[in-house]
């Protein structure tokens, strides 16, 4: 399976961002990609740097304008697309939702982001209700996709449940970077940790991982901080955590990487983590904490 990664720097013009993505999707498809993954909330700016009720006007139903627009491109190019949208489910009820489109442009399935951060410059709890669809892979013509979103990528339980339910690959649309007050050494530690934890999910589950991040600087609309410099570094690994591709830290980029799905079973035969899991001793994982 050939997977396309598209890493883009967005501006405030949603229509322009979408048209640029459409051009890149077509280009990556011509390079042989069968599955193409876009970054988190790819239509516009990362609006969670501030809390602003007017931003809810950007949310849309699913299906809606974006699934129609990108569905037509998926159908034209004959590719499976992983989108990341601001979903309007009902008045006052919104989600950060990944949508998978089939090669015919139809919706194969969706996943609502389960882990919602609330940190300086990442005020996502103001906008998004935690997902309620569970950790369930989405079946497509190119395989069973374990789609998660950004903050989910730090949680081994999420990756494990996707793997246990038959995912062929783990996919993480992402929006993560550095706030301007972090010193350079801390910025590097955070970026390395972000990639390392996901490579660990690949190893622990014997699955390839695709992570597609935003890139470029987006100012803080409030002016209280220096904004976020998204660190790009979109990447793909094989089932032993081996890096297959890692994109620029500062520039827009695209790549097509070949994933050998048959290799997953071979790696799991060498490293039979699923065989040796002590499921009789894992009850504590459903607790918040086990001391006090």
* Per-residue pLDDT tens digits for 247-268: 999 999 999 999 998 999 999 9
Q: Give the burial class of 100: count Cβ atoms within 10 A of its Cβ; 0-12 exposed, 13-18 middle, 19 or more buried.
A: buried
Q: Which of 48, 87, 124, 150 is catalytic?
A: 150
DSSP annotation of 60 = B
What is the predicted pLDDT for the residue at 292?
72
What is the predicted pLDDT for the residue at 183?
87
Q: Is residue 154 part of a domain?
A: yes
Q: Is residue 183 part of a domain?
A: yes
Q: Is residue 288 part of a domain?
A: no
* DSSP secondary structure string for all residues of 201-220: HHHHHT--EEEEE-EEEE--
Q: How far is CA 209 from CA 44, 83, 221, 253, in A?
A: 25, 16, 33, 18
List the strands of the sheet with 143-147, edge to edge.
Answer: 138-140, 143-147, 169-174, 209-213, 235-237, 243-246
Alpha helices in 78-206 (DSSP H): 156-164, 184-205
> Active-site residue 251, yes or no?
no
Q: Is 280 helix (H, G, I), strand (E, B) or coil?
A: helix
Q: How far is CA 183 from CA 176, 179, 186, 226, 230, in A?
A: 16, 9, 5, 13, 15
**Residue 118 above 80 pLDDT?**
yes
The tokens of 122 are what? 């990442």
Q: Which of 24, 113, 218, 254 is catalytic?
A: 113
CATH number, residue 189 = 3.60.110.10
Distance CA 198, CA 151 (A): 11
Q: Is residue 52 part of a domain?
A: yes
pLDDT digits (tens, 9 = 90+) for 45-81: 999 999 999 999 999 999 999 999 999 999 999 999 9
**Residue 291 above 90 pLDDT?**
no
> Active-site residue 48, yes or no?
no
Q: Is residue 17 part of a domain?
A: yes
Distance CA 241, CA 192 (A): 14
> Active-site residue 144, yes or no?
no
Average pLDDT over residues 30-39: 98
Distance CA 224, CA 30 (A): 43
What range does the domain containing 152 cover? 2-276
Distance CA 219, CA 63 (A): 31
The model's confidence at residue 179, banded by pLDDT at 50, 70 and 90, is confident
- Given a contact cutoff of 8 angstroms between Cβ atoms, the answer to whether 89 and 113 are in contact is no
Give how many domains the chain has, as a whole number.
1
Q: Is 113 helix (H, G, I), strand (E, B) or coil?
A: coil
The model's confidence at residue 180, banded by pLDDT at 50, 70 and 90, is confident
**Residue 181 above 90 pLDDT?**
no
Q: Is residue 152 part of a domain?
A: yes
What is the predicted pLDDT for the residue at 182?
82
Q: Is residue 285 part of a domain?
A: no
Tell me the angle at which helices 65-77 and 14-30 cross, rounded to the nearest 10 degrees.
20
pLDDT digits (tens, 9 = 90+) for 96-106: 999 999 999 99
Q: Is residue 74 part of a domain?
A: yes
The structure tokens 């990756």 sit at: 159
Q: Which of 34, 40, 87, 124 is catalytic?
A: 40
Average pLDDT over residues 193-215: 98
pLDDT digits (tens, 9 = 90+) for 127-171: 999 999 999 999 999 999 999 999 999 999 999 999 999 999 999
Mean pLDDT for the chain overall: 97
> Shortest CA distance to 234 belongs to which of 213, 250, 209, 253?
213
């Amino acid at each position: 399976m050939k997977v396309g990664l598209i890493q883009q720097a967005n501006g405030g013009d949603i229509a322009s961002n979408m048209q640029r993505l459409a051009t890149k999707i077509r280009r990556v498809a011509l390079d042989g990609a069968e599955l193409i993954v876009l970054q988190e909330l790819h239509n516009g700016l990362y609006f969670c740097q501030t809390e602003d009720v007017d931003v809810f006007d950007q949310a849309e139903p699913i299906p809606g304008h974006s699934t129609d627009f990108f569905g037509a491109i998926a159908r034209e190019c004959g590719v499976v697309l992983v989108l990341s949208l601001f979903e309007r489910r009902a008045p006052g009820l919104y989600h950060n939702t990944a949508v998978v489109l089939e090669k015919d442009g139809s919706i194969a399935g969706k996943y609502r982001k389960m882990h919602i951060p609330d940190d300086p410059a990442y005020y996502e709890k103001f906008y998004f209700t935690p997902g309620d669809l569970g950790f369930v892979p989405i079946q497509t013509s190119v395989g069973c996709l374990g789609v998660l979103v950004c903050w989910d990528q730090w949680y081994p339980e999420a990756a494990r449940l996707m793997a246990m339910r038959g995912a062929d690959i783990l996919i993480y649309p992402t929006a993560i970077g550095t706030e301007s007050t972090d010193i350079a050494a801390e910025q590097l530690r955070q970026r390395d940790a972000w990639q390392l934890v996901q490579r660990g999910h690949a190893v622990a589950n014997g699955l390839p991982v695709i992570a597609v991040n935003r890139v470029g600087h987006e100012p803080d609309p409030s002016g209280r901080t220096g904004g976020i410099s998204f660190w790009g570094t979109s990447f793909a690994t094989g089932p032993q955590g081996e890096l297959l591709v890692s994109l620029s830290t500062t520039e827009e980029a695209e790549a097509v990487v070949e994933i050998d799905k048959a290799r997953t079973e071979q790696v799991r035969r060498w490293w039979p983590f699923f065989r040796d899991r002590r499921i009789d001793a894992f009850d504590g994982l459903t607790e918040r904490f086990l001391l006090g």
